[in-house]
A and B are shown apart, each in its own frame.
Chain A
Amino acid sequence: MAAAVESTSAVIPPVRRVPDRFRTVTAAVAAVAPVILIVIVAILYQQAAPSIRHFGLGFLTGTEWNPVTDTFGALPAIFGTLSTALLSLVLAVPVGVAVAVVLAEQGQATLRGILGTGIELLAAIPSVVYGIWALYVLAPWSYQHLELPISDRLGFIGWLSQPGARSLFNASLVLAVMILPTLSAISREVIRAVPRGLKENAVALGATWWETTWRVILPSARAGIFGATILALGRALGETIAVTMVIGNRYAIPPSIFSPAYTLASVIANEFNEATGTLYPAALIELGLVLILVTLLVNIVALLLVRSTSREASRAA
């Protein structure tokens, strides 16, 4: 017996970390991604050069968008992009996590099946179909049943006044529906990965299902749920067509979340075909550049946040 063990250990080569060829290929693929990103940014920069030279940093703070007078400023679009994305997270994260908790549960197999398939199907619907649905169904419904009642009661708060069917709020609402599948599918996996022992210990200490979920399972899954949120945020920042169809496309920082607004992606989609001259198309391309930078920035900030929470967790582990 002992001899056999010795001879096998002599035959098996020492475990190398990663096989060389595999490593070369994956390293090459991994290196391509940042290169593509840099190339894209460089091309956009080059194409946007007339606008960058003309407006300088003032482009980021300017609030007017007027092709007739060749005055272009990006602030309202930046505001629209960031606020629709954040508002959609506020709306979708609680629902997505709640759905994930139910989906990750052991029992209730039928409910789990129906809900799970339903939610995953949501991810397969093309954006433009979401847009149509939002335009004809979601936005009118939300206007009647959310915006009007809320602004009736809380309209004295400025940014909850002036309800309208085409609004920043309704754009966020459709975005929330669109990011829900990502959020709940990833959160479900993270919650499933929480060690069973934690749950059993909580139950043995007398915790109810609710207390176990709220005080033990969700805190354990925190870092992963955060990761899911970041992925969802990426999608929300870049989504174009569905937002364009309900946001109202008014180029101004809206006085209220129920007012029309505009996003970086929507302006580009709507105006690029008609843009003539040099400054106008260059300004639109600069919006694209800003969109990439905003997305990158948000992702970096989010990554740092995740790092610090997971470092906390690994310090704990």
Chain B
Amino acid sequence: MRAVLGAGDTKLKVEQLSFYYGKNQALKDVSFEIPERRITAIIGPSGCGKSTLLRVFNRMYDLIPSARAGGKVLLDGEDVVTTRKLLELRQKVGMVFQRPSPFPMSIRDNVAFAPRLLGWSSSRVKEVVRQSLERAALWDEVNDRLEAPATSLSGGQQQRLAIARCLAVSPEVILMDEPCSALDPVATLKIEDLMAELMRDYTIVIVTHNMQQAARVSDYTAFMLMNPEGRYGELIEFAPTANLFNQPQDQRTEAYITGRFG
């Protein structure tokens, strides 16, 4: 558990956020502020809406026709929920998924994917590929085989490639949905080290089932729970990680972190 070095400015301000899949409410009245250049963890039992919340931040829910969001998520003051500048939003807010899903192309082309969508010049793309792989701590392992298919990498390498792929367009926020759940402890440790490194420049939001991981890597933690009557997810407690784990204010938080339910 790292000490929180002074509170950063707010990067993402979530205000009264509600979310529906068709008629089913998945989130209700979620409000909290995600600080800049810090790692914020979202924890809670399965089905409480963690992924749903994360997918609001980059409008991934647009892929689901029946999904609707209400309320606001302000990114540097601009509302993510209503913005029409999706390409810009997704450049600013990158996402790393549970499964790395390398594209069926070379390592280089994977990292160059988003820069090429933005129409960057090939010399700039080349530079960015190198930088991103370096930042993702993958360069030393792949610099001699950039043309090899990305699927030839190990699971942990693929996940770092996914991080490099999302770093390539210099995002400001990186969303991670259980990025280590398919990895072994060594690969997990590498990703965690990498996150600590990236935190200097990026705002990171990570969903994790692993409470030790949340305690290890994050500065702030949000605890969510499904409301037993309404069947929607709600935010129970949001606090600096040390406080949340040592002196939880809500007894449901305490019950969860001491393993009494969930």
A residues near B (Cβ < 8 Å) are 106-107, 195, 197-208, 211, 215-216, 219-220, 222, 312-313, 315-317
* B interface residue count range (under 10 / 10 to 19 / 20 to 34 / 35 or more): 20 to 34
A205 engages B166 (CB within 8 Å): yes
| Cβ–Cβ < 8 Å partners of A195 in chain B | 99, 101
Does residue B165 face the partner (Cβ distance < 8 Å to A)? yes
Closest to A209 in B: B63
> How many Cβ-Cβ contacts under 8 Å join chain A to chain B?
77
B101 engages A206 (CB within 8 Å): no
Interface of A is mostly: helix
Leading 3 A-B pairs by shortest Cβ distance: A316-B149, A197-B101, A206-B90
8 A-B pairs with C-beta separation under 8 A = A106-B64, A200-B97, A203-B90, A206-B91, A208-B87, A219-B103, A312-B149, A316-B150
A211 engages B117 (CB within 8 Å): yes
A316 engages B151 (CB within 8 Å): yes
Which chain B residues (54-71) contact chain A, with CB distance < 8 Å?
Answer: 58, 60, 62-65
Bound Cα distance A190, B67 (Å):
27
A316-B104, A316-B152 are known contacts. Are A201 and B97 too (CB-CB below 8 A)?
A: yes
| Cβ–Cβ < 8 Å partners of B165 in chain A | 201, 205
Please give the distance in Å from A201's CB to the nearest CB on chain B. Answer: 5
B114 engages A205 (CB within 8 Å): yes
Does residue B179 face the partner (Cβ distance < 8 Å to A)? no
Please give the distance in Å from B133's CB to the nearest CB on chain A. Answer: 16
Closest to A222 in B: B104
Bound Cα distance A317, B114 (Å):
22
Closest to A198 in B: B101
B97 engages A197 (CB within 8 Å): yes
Contact check: which of A197, A206, A215, A222 meets B86 at CB < 8 Å? A206
Does residue B49 face the partner (Cβ distance < 8 Å to A)? no
Does residue B95 face the partner (Cβ distance < 8 Å to A)? yes
Contact check: which of A199, A206, A219, A315 meets B87 at CB < 8 Å? A206
A206 engages B103 (CB within 8 Å): no
Bound Cα distance A155, B171 (Å):
54
Bound Cα distance A316, B103 (Å):
10
A206-B91, A316-B151 are known contacts. Are A107 and B65 too (CB-CB below 8 A)?
A: yes
